[in-house]
Structure 1
């Protein structure tokens, strides 16, 4: 195999899990996860790589663009942070299944951009306690990508 060939999906998967594990072990976040958008219609978004999870419910979360934190970041391609995730109800457009599932009170998320400049997924990190997140938190996460 030519080492200059693009990495395969399995290599990306290994790299994503390494990124999640590294952030979880290096930083003080309670939960770290990466959600990947499917390349096939309807381009659903699923949490595939996590660390610090308190249960396995994240595996059942399937989002579409614009819904939840991952959906918003995929749709806009911009970082997101919120210091009051518990305020969103199921009927709210900003309802965040991952925050509910993992009892996150605050979180920051950044887009994962592929080589073509398209949003491929989302890197999210959050806290179970009311630990303030900001643009600086999002910038710190971006450095891992």
Structure 2
């Protein structure tokens, strides 16, 4: 069966924001390999400004870059204490949007990370580990044409 060609990412992230009561939800997509796998925050909901449009990250830099590089989720319950004030400049989306607690998951396609989905609050400990797990379960095996690798299981294991 043909994969859905058009998927309304903006609608989906707005639904996630509403369902969980997040202050901010954003989707960063990998640009072309000619741009050395640059990531840009492409779809957002709950933004305070348009600064996210100017943020471009390489693999390993910022929230999206780290999740892209490692292929693993990232959870920060209290950004100020866990990231330390001096390191916050390495996380431009956190500073630009005033996020105090957040989580991000990699989104895969063809076994490669092609996107990063970020959710967060502007209050400390707004995002609990339990809520982050519920969010990851809600995303489940599909988010449009992408999937969260943690949710994909080998059928031979059953």
TM bucket normalised to smaller: 0.7 to 0.9
SS at match of 1:34: strand
Judged with a 3 Å threshold, the aligned counterparts in structure 2 of structure 1 residues 134 and 77 are, in CA distance, closer, same or farther, namely farther
Residue segments in structure 2 that go unaligned for 5+ positions in a row: 144-158
**Residue 131 (structure 1) shift:** 2.4
**Residue 139 (structure 1) shift:** 2.6
Structure 2 partner of 1:7: 4
CA contact (8 A) 1:38 1:45 kept: yes
Structure 1 partner of 2:64: 70
- Tell me the distance in 2 between the aligned counterparts of 1:55 and 1:24: 17
TM-score with structure 1 setting the length: 0.83
SS at match of 2:33: coil
- Tell me the distance in 2 between the aligned counterparts of 1:99 and 1:72: 13
**Residue 117 (structure 1) shift:** 1.5
Residue from 16, 30, 42 that aligns with 1:37: 30
Structure 2 partner of 1:122: 116
Structure 1 partner of 2:42: 48
- Tell me the distance in 2 between the aligned counterparts of 1:93 and 1:129: 16
Residue segments in structure 1 that go unaligned for 5+ positions in a row: none
SS at match of 2:90: coil
Structure with greater helix percent: 2
**Residue 113 (structure 1) shift:** 1.1
Structure 1 partner of 2:155: none
Judged with a 3 Å threshold, the aligned counterparts in structure 2 of structure 1 residues 133 and 25 are, in CA distance, closer, same or farther, namely closer
- Tell me the distance in 2 between the aligned counterparts of 1:93 and 1:102: 12
Structure 2 partner of 1:109: 104
C-alpha RMSD of the superposition = 1.9
**Residue 132 (structure 1) shift:** 4.5
